[in-house]
Structure 1
């Protein structure tokens, strides 16, 4: 994790935190290490094992230039936040105070899937204000794994079943074999579970979340994922599927799970953060708030068409689809609005009028807002803001889709705090977007 991958250069690892009772922030299982590698590893070395047979860098993360950090919250398989006030709130405060602005989480309580619990609530609060002891709001973009309890419905555990974080499911990878041959990993994911990125893998947890909300928001490959193995002297590989993979080397590990699709999306989110902050999208030149970051990811997807996909968006399997980097960072015309208009009362509206800029590209409109945390054990919705658009004389409502494209008719979405309208290539004419405060509690 050094600049340019060279040990002689400064480290990009800004902090190794420890919220547990263990002596150090480094665990022996390798789970946190491989996920950090997925977010931001840098490796420019050539040949085996650093490059695979197709020339891809095994150790290259999604954002190989970003600053990264880690905080330990497990001892073995036991969750432990005792050194951070013994609370989710304490963990959030710790990561914020150490400088984090994006927080990726590959953990959760699978048995808590049916309930909006105290952890769901704490992380919903933390997205808006991660440090309750400091004045004002300390916004934190939080990314959570959906969990590995699929393929049944309603299996996304807490805290990832909350409202304000970005929750990530897992598709297959396209890596059924490697230099060691046909591949069945230590988590029993075989070649057919890693041969088509358009398939949603069976273990990926599905929505709906409490309150009949759609989850996850997005999806990314989560099988036969490779990254660097931990260099800790006590490394056991007990928290990854394959301690080392491929054979004949001790540099890289491999694993499967939404634990590993999630840091990929976190890495993409960090690129989005930089892109918007530096004025490359929609005229803004400031760090995006958590809701804008979520909406931007939602608005630039690849629609999955394979097994357990090819469904109507937003779906409880793929959300809006897989973040598409080419679309996220292209030169298409974009208009972004980030917390600059305030609704004080139910019934208020905001309207934007424009024209389709380029009919050779799809039109994508996305709305997300950070909702007030709900009451524990309830349907957690508090406020309700709705999206609508009139395009070339046809009316569309947020989240009313047929397959991957919006359709006319339907009803306003009262369940989700994010909505979208997607129109295909060939759309022309005037656009009038209306956002309505259906309920301000």
Structure 2
């Protein structure tokens, strides 16, 4: 629902915001003043504090923080105090725009009356009517920059008129100075001397004029490409001093050097991803059997492989999954033809290798199997889009890659490369990547989304030099809408299972982004890995051959393909990039206590999320074989105004398991200026209430669970809440998504003025159900273990029976049995015993039946499982099974769980037990 949010005029005695500020451009709130966001409506605030100044946003109030000192807080969790909330970072400086008032002194007469770029800062989060007022006055809001500021385009006289008007919502008006247009580490004015390849963001309507003016100062125009309906990129070559002159052109919004350091960044890793580990914590064989249990292999999904060349399409492990690349008309294309490389072939095999070559290693692992062996793969080559053999990318190169990917049918794009190996902040290529995530094809009338899974830079831990130290990222690692992936170890130097896949590989970069946002988002095994190579149609490479984030990203791309195929089978709709990110990060494996990528100094990681592991190591089994029900919300709700709120009530599907909630959104494109300037635009905040406690997104305590209270995360577009069983207590939970600031149009990034600011979101809630109505008749369910211990041989199968006694008093409805299989066993059959449906491809199995159970009856079923081939005979394996009825209460729950015991025996002993030797049993 859209709400009107008038400026506060609660009563005739209230201090209005206009009176408090006098004239916003003349006497604004000081930058050092603290302001508060109070999450309550205006009437509740007035009852608490009385009539006060501020802005009413409906679900929250924005008020000067000193007003809180007059009353004790009614609920501290609803109050967030922000110190110095109006300071902005531009040109490498943090300042208050009100301290740099607009002046025309010293400007040429033509500039004083002509068009240009201007900063307009509001008194708080954006309201649509404020933007409408600017437009009506002749100022075009072009780009939001945190906090509360827009870069606008308009005539100088219009800006002077706005300044004189003293509008209460306008806090400051300031010039967008030429030094803001450069990345701080490139310097302003640029160094005199050598020729430099540059890219300029400019106002669209002035492109023809600028071509002539740039030529007049000696710049050579290489190419021009549109970014959206407001801005274009001009790719040019000029000396440094001429670059300084070009930055002085009022039509130029940003000017940057083109980075010239672009380039690239088996079954064992699949089993690590799927959590299929033996008692010693090492991966075991059997990935295809695990995959069969999930019911999906990615066959409805296409993944593009963007690399330094194509992959060897004739390789036996790839040939069945190759899909053609559809090139764009014109001279530029990423479609690679028949060229191939080892790097690209290895990456493609990790995503979608089929294992058709049948080659196994010395430990029995199938060498050519990918995470999603049914997915289609498209070969794309970034090298033709690097300019003049210098490593710099042509201005529309990123757009060509994204467009050709979706026209080739890709839903996911793997990028084990980057246009720059050094941190540049949120620059122009990064801006183009974020646009492409929402809409990869500018020629179509509807959005064509594409999830870019990106290997972050092989930065080798902390880098203590450079403008973004200690981050060691490259570009576009800081894009908001990608899934950024770091690397852990897999094999040792001899190609053996190292068991260190929870330790960051020494090559992996550390974050954060230059503006403080959290990067990476996930990590996965990448050093060293085993899969197909380009040496021949049956060749493979492992051990020291490939170690890096390049090999970690395809694990995540394959996982994204499996999740997408599963989601499509259930909903007949592909998931959004935001939902894939939410689903994979919500249940990632926390690496607290493990080593980061540093070889000295700070080496031990704390709990996720952090700048080393992001939200943790990929846990594919938890994502596609969840132990309890999952709720997915996929961009079904759109916020139009700051202050709107979305609510959902859930309860834990299994009260004995954690509840994990992840909010993700594909944000509106950021500024493209590079450096430390904040790149986030729309700010959503996740809050989960459990009883009297409120848990904020990304506020994680020392124990690894979310901590009550906490400060809202105002920067990241991934927010997680992780509740232990003790924290949620099986009670009703209220999930809230608050639209803290809706400042840009995330839904139409190529036409941002089409409909005004808008933002949708995706949410994944693991172990959640919305069925929270009162339970019907009470029952007393009892789960019984089999009378004899089942036996199994290494590599063999066995049926694990279970029976449920239902003495009454009522009829049970929707019975469910959850099994945590003994370590060393995994589920291999999806449907058992007619009325029972069992799902799960690993150790977590859920069996349900819609049949009612009457009092006094016994309901039985079984689960077919397989034992790992390397299990040691003589072991007694132990697991747990639990029973519950969806629509019944069970007050006497002590008999709902039993231990599952399975005896491992050698084959010859099993034959004796079964009576197959000596003519019969003895």
TM-score (norm 1): 0.84
Partner of residue 115, structure 1: 425
Partner of residue 415, structure 1: 715
Question: Which residue of the other structure, out of 432, 435, 443, is the alignment partner of 1:125?
Answer: 435
SS of the aligned residue for 1:35 comes to helix
Measure, in 2, the Cα distance between the counterparts of 1:151 and 1:157: 13
Measure, in 2, the Cα distance between the counterparts of 1:178 and 1:354: 46
1:406 aligns with 2:706: yes
1:440 aligns with 2:735: no
Measure, in 2, the Cα distance between the counterparts of 1:10 and 1:87: 28
- Contact 1:17/1:72 (CA < 8 Å) preserved in 2? no
Measure, in 2, the Cα distance between the counterparts of 1:424 and 1:146: 31
- Contact 2:530/2:540 (CA < 8 Å) preserved in 1? no
Cα 1:338/1:28, change in 2 over 3 Å = closer
1:35 aligns with 2:347: yes
1:353 aligns with 2:655: no
1:298 aligns with 2:585: yes
Question: Which residue of the other structure, out of 553, 559, 569, is the alignment partner of 1:278?
Answer: 569
- Contact 1:26/1:232 (CA < 8 Å) preserved in 2? no
Give the drift of 1:8.
Answer: 12
Partner of residue 489, structure 2: 172
Relative contact order higher in (CA < 8 Å, ≥ 6 apart): 1
Deviations 1:290-334 (A, max 9, x none): 111100011121112411254132111111111212211225111
SS of the aligned residue for 1:43 comes to coil
Give the drift of 1:150.
Answer: 2.7
Measure, in 2, the Cα distance between the counterparts of 1:259 and 1:270: 17
- Contact 1:17/1:70 (CA < 8 Å) preserved in 2? no
Superposed counterparts of 1:192-211, under 5 Å: 195-211=499-515
Give the drift of 1:110.
Answer: 4.4
Partner of residue 161, structure 1: 478
- Contact 1:59/1:252 (CA < 8 Å) preserved in 2? no
Cα 1:111/1:326, change in 2 over 3 Å = closer
Partner of residue 72, structure 2: none
Cα 1:266/1:24, change in 2 over 3 Å = closer
SS of the aligned residue for 1:14 comes to coil
Partner of residue 42, structure 2: none
Cα 1:394/1:206, change in 2 over 3 Å = same
Cα 1:24/1:126, change in 2 over 3 Å = closer
Partner of residue 53, structure 1: 362
- Contact 1:17/1:71 (CA < 8 Å) preserved in 2? no
- Contact 2:589/2:617 (CA < 8 Å) preserved in 1? yes
Superposed counterparts of 1:349-428, under 5 Å: 349-377=645-673, 378-403=677-702, 404-426=704-726, 427-428=728-729
Measure, in 1, the Cα distance between the counterparts of 2:391 and 2:471: 23
Superposed counterparts of 1:126-275, under 5 Å: 126-152=436-462, 153-178=470-495, 195-231=499-535, 250-253=539-542, 254-275=545-566
Measure, in 2, the Cα distance between the counterparts of 1:337 and 1:24: 37
Cα 1:74/1:8, change in 2 over 3 Å = closer
Deviations 1:321-351 (A, max 9, x none): 1121221122511111111111110000000
- Contact 2:333/2:400 (CA < 8 Å) preserved in 1? no
Cα 1:135/1:51, change in 2 over 3 Å = same
Deviations 1:227-276 (A, max 9, x none): 1111579xxxxxxxxxxxxxxx9443540100010011000000010111
Partner of residue 620, structure 2: 325
Measure, in 2, the Cα distance between the counterparts of 1:8 and 1:229: 10
Measure, in 2, the Cα distance between the counterparts of 1:53 and 1:440: 56
Deviations 1:356-407 (A, max 9, x none): 1212221100000000111112321111000001123321000101253211
SS of the aligned residue for 1:341 comes to strand
The structure where strand makes up a greater share of residues is 2
- Contact 1:229/1:252 (CA < 8 Å) preserved in 2? yes
SS of the aligned residue for 1:338 comes to strand
Measure, in 1, the Cα distance between the counterparts of 2:370 and 2:335: 28
Give the drift of 1:423.
Answer: 1.4
Cα 1:114/1:217, change in 2 over 3 Å = same
SS of the aligned residue for 2:660 comes to strand
Unpaired stretches in structure 1, ≥5 consecutive residues: 180-190, 234-248
Measure, in 1, the Cα distance between the counterparts of 2:319 and 2:354: 13
Deviations 1:1-52 (A, max 9, x none): xx9x996997321025778689954545411111001101011555xxx212
Measure, in 2, the Cα distance between the counterparts of 1:23 and 1:126: 18
- Contact 1:110/1:156 (CA < 8 Å) preserved in 2? no
1:344 aligns with 2:646: no
Question: Which residue of the other structure, out of 572, 587, 595, is the alignment partner of 1:307?
Answer: 595
Partner of residue 295, structure 2: none
RMSD: 2.8
Deviations 1:182-204 (A, max 9, x none): xxxxxxxxx9xx55011112221
Measure, in 1, the Cα distance between the counterparts of 2:418 and 2:344: 14
SS of the aligned residue for 2:740 comes to strand
Between stretches 264-273 and 222-231, larger displacement belongs to: 222-231
Partner of residue 62, structure 1: 371
SS of the aligned residue for 1:267 comes to helix
Cα 1:438/1:37, change in 2 over 3 Å = same
SS of the aligned residue for 2:348 comes to helix
Cα 1:276/1:9, change in 2 over 3 Å = closer
Between stretches 381-390 and 24-33, larger displacement belongs to: 24-33
Measure, in 2, the Cα distance between the counterparts of 1:63 and 1:374: 33
TM-score (norm 2): 0.41
Between stretches 372-381 and 336-345, larger displacement belongs to: 372-381
SS of the aligned residue for 1:419 comes to strand
- Contact 2:354/2:374 (CA < 8 Å) preserved in 1? yes
- Contact 1:92/1:130 (CA < 8 Å) preserved in 2? yes
- Contact 2:315/2:536 (CA < 8 Å) preserved in 1? no
Cα 1:22/1:219, change in 2 over 3 Å = closer
Cα 1:436/1:301, change in 2 over 3 Å = same
- Contact 1:313/1:320 (CA < 8 Å) preserved in 2? yes
Cα 1:287/1:9, change in 2 over 3 Å = closer
- Contact 1:303/1:310 (CA < 8 Å) preserved in 2? no
Give the drift of 1:111.
Answer: 4.2
Deviations 1:148-206 (A, max 9, x none): 01311322211121100000011111444338xxxxxxxxxxx9xx5501111222111
